[in-house]
């Protein structure tokens, strides 16, 4: 076995040597053919020829008897390496010959890659958005508009409008003729501000500004700073006056025929296109259900400054895309579209500098005068403009600049609060009869909750003829008056018919008469005792047997006052009484009577003398 392998290797070596000698002979011939004279270009040509000869030699080696096929992979790898080396030599040669051209092409490629995004953006800006009904293709919105007619074409909604040859028309109430009723509102020169008396507005911070700057009345607006169209349906709004409404209660309280919807700028960032569009369609159809006879206007989303405070949150590119959708939605639903952006945009598709409120999103006070004038001059057809619109201004609850400060969150859904159902009769599916119950559907005002409720039977309402006034059924207990047994009712008092008056304990009697003139004695109930505070009846004087005399309150003895000490009298000078008496006695003898006042003595009859 070893000798055989050695023999194979020897024969292969001989073959390779033989092949190499043949290559040398071919190389010599090539030198002669090309007229080799030592020129460098000739050297490069011969080098290429030598490489081809090496490849030929490799394949020649396989032809020899005893070639070891196990070495085929090695030969292939070496061949690929030689080919790659050959390619590098060619590339170097090309670079040396075309260096300037290669650098120029590379610079052009880099410049084109840098400039391409800007070129695309510029083209998009200069491309006008769709503003004509003829440019709208509802098929572009997938399954969003799926209602189709028998021919497979999308069937547009709107019970008050029809289409003739692709142009929307409406019936003129005054003439009864069909007139054009385009989706995009057109200018009506000379239209007066009284048109706004027939309008209400639903919107976001930009609509709040219309109230704050005094261009429309607070009572005509339902708006919230930062609200997205996805949250409007179930949100409770608070007006400057403090009144609170949902969309449903607001539209039920207002009678204006035109509803402007100015929403959509909030909630664009991060929203899926299909979700954004479906939520808008659901909101529009919800408002249409609340007022089928109302005329709804979708206002175009106003432009912004892409480099303003809110850059990244909203872009004009997105606004143009969704405005195209709003026009398609208006056409599909048979409502209106106000393309107000043609007066708000500059030549680059951005907000005009004179209208910018400072942050690139909100507008200046002067801009709102332009906006309200555009609304008046592009009215909904057939709506009156009589009179002058008077703004009922209500002072805002805060400064507008504070309400729109950057950083306030976007309201994408209404806050979740504990809900209390308030049901009303939504529909009666079966009327109740005299004997059979009915069925009615109860619906909640604040949510979608509904349930069925039974209406109790009404019962018969028999007339004097014994027939039910409602269903005509006959009263089984009815009998004609002449056949009915009379029942006495003594309710007529006979004049002077009192027989005895009632007392406190004994009833009285009197005569009463029936309508049939029959008379009967009836009893008058006893009056009962009327006891006073002393237990004695005021009417008959009888003592109350249950009377208990109240106890008199015990009076405590009054202490005697302590006598005050009497001061000693000052002694007066005294006279000799005996001497005085002797003098009086001597004088008193004689014929006359002399009275001498003596304490504790009395006059005597006789000789006029006083007894001491």
DSSP string, 508-530: EEEEEEETTS-EEEEEEPP----
Over residues 571-577, the mean pLDDT reads 54
Share of the chain above pLDDT 90, in %: 29
The pTM score is: 0.49
Q: Can you read off the two tokens belonging to residue 599?
A: 């304490």
Pairing of strands 450-455, 438-444: antiparallel
Per residue, the 3-state secondary structure of 435-470, as one string, reads: CCCEEEEEEECCCCCEEEEEECCCCCCECCCCEECC
**Phi and psi dihedrals of 11, rounded to 5?**
-65, -40
More confident residue, 517 or 125: 517
Of these ranges, 140-144, 530-534, 584-588, the one predicted with the greatest mean pLDDT is 530-534
Q: Kindly list the distances between the CA atom of residue 273 and the CA atoms of 130, 152, 276, in Å, as whole numbers in the listed order.
A: 18, 25, 5
What is the DSSP pairing of strand 490-500 with strand 508-514?
Answer: antiparallel
Say whether pLDDT at 582 is over 50: no
pLDDT digits (tens, 9 = 90+) for 377-394: 999 998 999 999 999 888
How confident is the model at residue 112, as a pLDDT? 87
How far apart CA 508 and CA 501 sit, in angstroms, is 5
User: If you average pLDDT over every residue of the chain, what do you get?
Assistant: 76
Contacts of 95 (CB under 8 A, 6+ apart): 102
pLDDT over threshold 50, residue 596: no
Instruction: Render pLDDT for 58-100 as a digit per residue (tens, 0 to 9).
Output: 544 444 444 455 455 556 666 777 788 888 888 888 888 888 8
299 vs 21, higher pLDDT: 299
pLDDT, one tens digit per residue, over 435-492 is 999 999 888 877 777 888 899 999 999 888 889 998 989 888 887 766 667 788 888 8
DSSP state of 227: B
- When pLDDT is cut at 50, 70 and 90, the band that residue 14 belongs to is very low
CA distance 600 to 181: 141
Inform me whether the pLDDT recorded for 300 exceeds 90.
yes
**What pLDDT does residue 585 have?**
43
| Vertex 602 angle, CA 597 and 604, to 5° | 105
Above pLDDT 70, what percent of the chain?
64
- By the 10 Å C-beta count (0-12 exposed, 13-18 middle, 19+ buried), 16 is classed as middle
What is the band of 417 on the pLDDT scale with cuts at 50, 70, 90?
Answer: low
Encode pLDDT of 237-259 as tens digits. 999 888 899 999 999 999 999 99
Split at pLDDT 50, 70, 90, the class of 265 is: very high
Inter-axis angle of helices 72-97 and 99-126, to 10 degrees? 80
Give SS3 for 498.
strand
The answer to which of 192-196, 332-336, 549-553, 576-580 has the lowest mean pLDDT is 576-580
């Amino acid at each position: 076995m070893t000798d055989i392998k050695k023999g194979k290797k020897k024969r292969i070596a001989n073959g390779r040597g033989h092949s190499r000698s043949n290559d040398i002979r071919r190389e010599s011939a090539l030198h002669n053919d090309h007229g080799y004279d030592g020129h460098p270009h000739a050297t490069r040509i011969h080098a290429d020829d030598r490489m081809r000869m090496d490849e030929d030699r490799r394949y020649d080696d396989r032809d020899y008897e005893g070639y070891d096929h196990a070495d085929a992979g090695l030969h292939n790898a070496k061949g690929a390496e030689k080919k790659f080396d050959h390619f590098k030599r060619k590339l170097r040669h090309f670079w040396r010959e075309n260096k300037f051209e290669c650098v120029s092409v590379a610079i052009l490629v880099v410049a084109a890659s840098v400039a391409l995004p800007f070129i695309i953006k510029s083209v998009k800006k200069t491309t006008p958005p769709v503003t004509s009904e003829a440019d709208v293709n509802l098929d572009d919105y997938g399954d969003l508009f799926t209602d189709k007619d028998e021919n497979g074409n999308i069937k547009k909604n709107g019970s008050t409008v029809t289409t003739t040859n692709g142009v929307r028309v409406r019936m003129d109430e005054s003439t009864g003729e069909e007139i054009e009723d385009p989706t995009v509102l057109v200018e009506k020169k000379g239209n007066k501000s009284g048109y706004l008396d027939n309008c209400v507005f639903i919107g976001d911070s930009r609509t709040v500004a219309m109230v704050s700057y005094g261009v429309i009345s607070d009572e005509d607006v339902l708006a919230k700073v930062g609200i997205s169209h996805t949250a409007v349906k179930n949100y409770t709004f608070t007006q400057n006056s403090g009144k609170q409404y949902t969309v449903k209660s607001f539209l039920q309280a207002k009678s204006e025929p035109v509803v402007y919807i100015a929403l959509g700028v909030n909630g664009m960032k991060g929203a899926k296109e299909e979700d954004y569009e479906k939520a808008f369609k659901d909101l529009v159809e919800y408002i249409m259900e609340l007022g089928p006879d109302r005329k709804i206007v979708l206002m175009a989303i106003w432009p912004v400054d892409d480099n303003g405070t809110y850059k990244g949150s909203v872009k004009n590119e997105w606004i143009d895309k969704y405005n195209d959708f709003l026009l398609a939605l208006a056409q599909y639903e048979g409502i209106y579209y106000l393309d107000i952006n043609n007066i708000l945009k500059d030549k680059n598709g951005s907000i005009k500098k004179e209208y910018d409120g400072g942050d690139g999103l909100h507008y200046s006070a002067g801009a709102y005068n332009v906006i309200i004038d555009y609304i008046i001059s592009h009215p909904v057809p057939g709506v009156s403009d009589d009179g002058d619109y008077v703004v009922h201004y209500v002072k805002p609850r805060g400064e507008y600049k504070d309400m729109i400060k950057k950083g306030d969150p976007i309201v994408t859904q209404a806050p979740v609060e504990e809900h209390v159902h308030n049901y009303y009769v939504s529909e009666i599916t079966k009327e109740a009869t005299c004997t059979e119950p009915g069925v009615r559907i109860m619906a909640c005002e604040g949510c979608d909750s509904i349930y069925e409720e039974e209406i109790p039977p009404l019962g018969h309402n028999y007339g004097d003829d014994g027939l039910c006034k409602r269903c005509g059924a006959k009263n089984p207990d009815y009998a004609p008056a002449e056949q009915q047994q009379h029942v006495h009712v003594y309710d007529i008092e006979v004049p002077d018919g009192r027989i005895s008056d009632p007392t406190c304990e004994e009833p009285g009697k009197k005569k009463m008469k029936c309508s049939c003139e029959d008379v009967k004695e009836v009893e008058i109930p006893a009056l009962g005792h009327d006891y006073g505070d002393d237990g004695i009846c005021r009417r008959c004087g009888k003592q109350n047997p249950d009377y208990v005399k109240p106890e008199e309150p015990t009076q405590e003895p009054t202490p005697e006052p302590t006598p005050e000490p009497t001061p000693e009298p000052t002694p007066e000078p005294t006279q000799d009484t005996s001497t005085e008496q002797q003098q009086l006695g001597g004088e008193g003898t004689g014929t006359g009577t002399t009275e001498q006042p003596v304490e504790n003595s009395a006059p005597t009859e006789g000789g006029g003398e006083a007894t001491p």
